[in-house]
């Protein structure tokens, strides 16, 4: 089991905070001692809470992510975290350009390496439930495979 996992998406207000919340919940239940965090490759939302629809879908699954705040990935993160999990090919390219070496795609843990789509760009609430399901399956598999 890696000692630390960093989930990285684009803005850190939808996918990665959902993954962070799900992973922390699973780790708590399983008694894993692991550092889990999330961030984004972009700086647009730094300091903001997860978007309303991410908070809503998390709440519908008994998870409160409203206290999380968006931040941008740093070089220190790339050195500190043992495993870096990206949500799509663009996230991977951006992280590689920063020098990240230990990157894996979340979709490799249950969705044939598919991108986890960014629901922020969907109209309204549409898609958040599907994205939540994808993230939950993949995060569960990731933690199971590495335990």
Domains of the chain are 4-145 (3.40.50.2300)
- How far apart CA 147 and CA 142 sit, in angstroms, is 9
The whole model's pTM is what? 0.96
Q: What angle do CA 112, 39, 70 make, to 5 degrees?
A: 130
115 a catalytic residue: no
Q: Which residues contact 23 (CB under 8 A, 6 or more apart)?
A: 5, 7, 36, 139, 142, 143
39 a catalytic residue: no
Residue among 14, 37, 118, 138 flagged as catalytic? 118
88 a catalytic residue: no
> Mind listing the pLDDT tens digit of every residue in the chain (147 residues)?
789 999 999 999 999 999 999 999 999 999 999 999 999 999 999 999 999 999 999 999 999 999 999 999 999 999 999 999 999 999 999 999 999 989 999 999 999 999 999 998 877 777 899 999 999 999 999 999 877
pLDDT for the residue numbered 125: 79
């Amino acid at each position: 089991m890696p000692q630390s996992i960093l989930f990285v998406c684009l803005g850190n207000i939808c996918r990665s905070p959902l993954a962070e919340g799900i992973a922390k919940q699973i780790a708590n239940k399983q008694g894993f001692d692991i550092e889990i965090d999330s961030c984004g490759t972009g700086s647009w939302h730094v300091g903001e809470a997860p978007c309303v629809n991410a908070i809503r879908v998390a709440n519908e699954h008994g998870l409160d992510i409203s206290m999380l705040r968006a931040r941008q990935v740093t070089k220190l993160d790339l050195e500190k975290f043992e495993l870096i999990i990206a949500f799509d090919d663009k996230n991977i390219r951006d992280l590689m350009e920063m020098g990240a070496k230990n990157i894996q795609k979340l979709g490799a843990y249950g969705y044939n390496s598919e991108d986890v789509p960014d629901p922020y760009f969907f109209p309204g609430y549409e898609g958040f439930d599907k994205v939540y399901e994808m993230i939950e399956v993949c995060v569960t598999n990731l933690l199971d495979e590495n335990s």
